[in-house]
Amino acid sequence: MSNVALEVKNLESWYGESHILHGVNFSVRDGEVVTLLGRNGAGRSTILKTILGLTSKRKGSIEVFGKETIALPTYQIARLGIGYCPEERGIFASLDTEENLLLPPKVSSGGMDVEEIYEMFPNLYERRNSPGTRLSGGEQQMLAMARILRTGAKLLLLDEITEGLAPVIVQKLGEVVTKLRNKGFTIVLVEQNFRFAAGLADRHYVVEGGQIVEVVQHSELEAKAELLNGYLGV
């Protein structure tokens, strides 16, 4: 499989008046895992949001599974098969845990079923009738990740999924991502936690000032460690 799942060209993006992305280019083939690395405020989350059309204005080209989406409304982009896990988690207070989990509509077949998900995150099973925002910080993080696994989306945009999770869970998430990848999912990962990302990704993009300033292939990690260190302060 070498179809392109996501192709971003000359992407620019704005929040109101502030111009955040200044021409971002990258592409992800089917079944690849890539990460976006960078300092706080570099614009990584903004890249994910812009792909889904969640910023106030955008320019350039974004092809999702071969379809140009720059002019589409958010919900139609999502229906092309994108699953999004936002950094602020976005758990709904007025829905209970299970309703939160069942909320995102299926966009295609082949999603995990609920049993499988509960098995993966036993905490959620235990708290399934509790209002979504009454979960602990980490549980909410799990829920945000879990709910998109159900939808059958093949392109996952994951923003800081390890944030605030216990080391065991982080480890488990690493296994999940590997598993997903083996199943043929395409994943764009925004990570602060470099060690977590390093082992998983085919390729790393370093974002700075709203542009991609460096690409590091998995095989080049050792060689470019110094360079990465300079960008990220690892």
User: Where do contacts with another protein occur on this chain (CB under 8 A)?
Assistant: 39-41, 52, 54, 73-76, 78-79, 82, 84, 86, 90, 92-95, 99-100, 102-105, 107, 123, 127, 130-131, 134-139, 141-142, 151, 160, 163-172, 192-196, 232-234
Candidate ranges 35-43, 72-80, 215-223, 224-232; the one touching ligand ATP (CB under 6 A): 35-43
* Residue 102 binding: pick among ligand ATP, Mg ion, another protein, none (C-beta 5-8 Å cut-off by kind): another protein
Q: Contact residues for Mg ion (CB under 5 A)? A: 45, 87, 136-137
Cβ at position 3, least distance to ligand ATP in Å: 28
The secondary structure of 26-91 as a DSSP string is EEEETT-EEEEEE-TTSSHHHHHHHHTT-SSEEEEEEEETTEE-TTS-HHHHHHTTEEEE-TT---
Residue type at 212? I
CA distance 214 to 26: 11
* Residue 99 binding: pick among Mg ion, another protein, ligand ATP, none (C-beta 5-8 Å cut-off by kind): another protein
Cβ at position 30, least distance to ligand ATP in Å: 25
CA distance 35 to 3: 19
Cα 177-179-184 angle, rounded to 5 deg:
95
What are 166-170's contacts with CB under 8 Å, separation 24+? Answer: 166/138, 169/138, 169/142, 170/196
Cβ at position 42, least distance to Mg ion in Å: 8
Task: Check residue 131 and report its DSSP letter.
Answer: B
Closest alpha carbon to 193 in 155, 166, 219? 166
3-state SS assignment for residue 4 = strand
Residue 135 binds ligand ATP, judged by CB under 6 A: yes
Q: Which residue is nearest to Mg ion (CB)?
A: 45
Cβ at position 39, least distance to another protein in Å: 5
Q: Which residue lies nearer to another protein by CB, 2 or 94?
A: 94
Q: Which residue lies nearer to ligand ATP by CB, 19 or 179?
A: 19
How, if at all, do strands 18-29 and 186-190 pair?
A: unpaired
Interface with ligand ATP (CB under 6 A): 15, 18, 20, 38, 40-46, 87, 127, 130, 134-139
